[in-house]
Structure 1
Amino acid sequence: MPPASPYRITPARVLRSEWHKLLSLRSTWITVVLAVVMVLGVGLVMGGTYTSGGGDSDVDTVVLTLYGSMLAQLFLVVLGILMTAGEYATGTIRSSLTAVPARLPVLWAKAAVFAATAFTAMFATGLVTFAGAQAFLHDTDQAASLTDPGVLRAVAGNALALTLMGLLALGLGALLRSVPGAIGAFIAGVVILPEILGMLPYDLVERAIQYFPTQAAGALGSATPVPGTAAPGPALLALSLWTGTTLGAAAVALKHRDV
């Protein structure tokens, strides 16, 4: 029996390849750093300028301190799309799929690498931002601690929501194979569509919108219940289903379409 080839394709090697690919791209560092700066910068500004008794006194403390997450989401969405659609734009996807003929391990490795990077960066940033903002808020009506009920869960939930939204964008990039097309689809379908549907005077539509990606993500990042949003558990399930469905559709397209 001939010896096993040292160049066999294994999940670990595909994962390592995608990891090196992600770290070697300048766009990765730019988007991740900008996402971190948005969360940290806006959080410190919110903490430093806040005064008790103002118009934000009823805002959840975690939402207030991590307000920059809405801007960070844009950068993580772009990063997710670039990881998939960006390779189609440059043509490097041909090399990746030639090296891994099964194709699907490439998509799963990209998703895993993105998820690990995004969640780690955003969770660590959330902890630092919350602590930094509380240095200014300790003597206000927004004073809180990570040990308070729901606070640590909300900080972790915020990081998880950002990660899932980025993975949804990654799936759109793989499905549409176009950076502008995926960005446009994300803005139209995830950001704008719920706002348009919210104008309809139907209770059923209003309840359904609570489980759309953006609204579900918002529910995960709050330490206290937010009126008009789903509970954290159902919100996480809904956001996971949106992301999983998009990645599943991308997997089917990747398996059956030509490059």
Structure 2
Amino acid sequence: MQHAIEKLRHLQKNHFPLFAISISYIFVLLFGEFLHLILGTETLEYHKTSFYFLNSKNTINQIFAYNGNLVWFLLFCLVFYLHLHFETVNSKELLPTSADVPVGLHSRVCQYTQRANYYLFKQYFFKYCVKSASLFVIFFAIDTLFVLSGGSCDDGSGTTFSETCRSNKGKWEGGFDISGHFCFLITISLILWCELYKLHKRMESESFEVELNVVFTVMIGLIVGVIMVWFGLLWITAIYYHTFFEKVLGCMLGFVTPLLMYYTIPSNEFLNGLLYK
């Protein structure tokens, strides 16, 4: 227990921005539930039927939640490109500024850049694989628990997968329905926060100057903007959908994949060497 507390203090001290962001998800859950209780069932139902963006079929929810995997993948590729760009900039700084360049130095720097880019690609490829595999297992468990607790899809197909039910325009009914929105949106947004934080820390530690032009500023702004949309969807879910315990479990499961990707694997010498190095 003491060892776990010490690790938590270490994470809080050395990665405070990520720690604060993680706490913000819990705040959304708790304050959203508070508003849920204050408003009452009748008011909540009235809001959901009266306001378009509170309905689960609204366009923003369809694009950023139900098609969130595609949106996340595009943004993840964008983050990879940013890392790749700064890796190239960092490699160029290894070259001397004078005209008297030692024979073979340029070739060695190019080889270093190619090697660094290969390991960067390898790391992001396996991060994508870990994220996909982890979420598949988690949602398989969520769907299985839902069916075992008496839930089913109202389309009559007998499917045991929420994704299939939704694609058939069906609806989950009955059962203990752990909040997939909380699990999924926390997972994909926290992964991108971790990547942006990692990029920021790297630029600080390597002490190289990079002027972000308009294009790169827009890229980072786009990523943060989409994350804010996901936060908005979390607020709606916290206030208007699911029971408290369904949201709590969804929130807890949302931290599993980022912890696996950015703490468990990097902390394990074998896994880190196999997947990230």
- Is this a same-fold pair by TM over 0.5? no
More helix by share: 2
By relative contact order (CA 8 Å, sep 6+), the higher-ranking structure is: 2
- What is the TM-score when the length of structure 1 is the normalising length? 0.29
- What is the TM-score when the length of structure 2 is the normalising length? 0.28
Flag the structure with larger Rg.
2
